[in-house]
Amino acid sequence: MRVRDVMIQDVYVAHKDDLVHDVLRKFSNLRISGMPIVDHGYRVVGYISDGDIMRFLGKHTNNVILSYSTICTYYYAESLDAQIDQVDQFKQNAFSLFEKNVMQLATKKVITVKEDDDLVDVAELLSRRKIKKVPVVKDGVLVGIVSRGDVVRAVVQAYLSSGAVS
């Protein structure tokens, strides 16, 4: 089985000129956690995920990922100066994050696969590199995306249709 047999062709993407708030809006509206970043020729130039966002917040919030709602709960429950400072710092970091170019947070050395690659090789790659999905390219241009879930579904469907299970 080949990647082209299981890949999703309608790929949500960010563009290299997008700001992080554009990407976060797509994450929220589309209920996704990552997407390839493409240039004007639809070539993959990066990948942005919720993990990249969390790493940024972790580095800029005293290495602690805090949800805004949790901070606000503490803020309203007890108005200690340290908590106020923490809320203010979190807000500043969030607003700073929103206005950054997506490429400032993105993974730039993106692993890609080709549409005619063997699915077994892609499954091994996803497992070995501990990644959830990988962009599919043809002649350097994005043509799809394949995820661990796509691979698992394909394997299960092949197994079930083989008659091995009654």
What does the block give as tokens for 106? Answer: 């993105």
What does the block give as tokens for 62? Answer: 């005293």
Q: Return d(Cα 28, Cα 46) in angstroms, integer.
A: 20
Give the pLDDT confidence of 7-46 residue by residue, as tens digits.
999 999 999 999 999 999 999 999 999 999 999 999 999 9
33-42, 47-56, 109-118, range with the lowest pLDDT: 47-56
Do 65 and 53 meet the contact criterion of CB atoms below 8 Å apart? no
C-alpha distances in Å from residue 145, one per residue of 59, 125, 159: 29, 14, 23
pTM (2 d.p.): 0.78
Per DSSP, the three-state class of 19 is strand
Checking if the pLDDT of 71 tops 90, the result is no
Q: Helix 50-59 and helix 20-30: axis angle, to 10°?
A: 130
Average pLDDT, the chain: 83
Predicted local confidence at residue 159, as pLDDT: 78
- Mean pLDDT across 70-75: 48
CA-based nearest residue to 144, from 107, 123, 113, 106 = 113
Give the pLDDT confidence of 138-149 residue by residue, as tens digits.
998 999 999 999
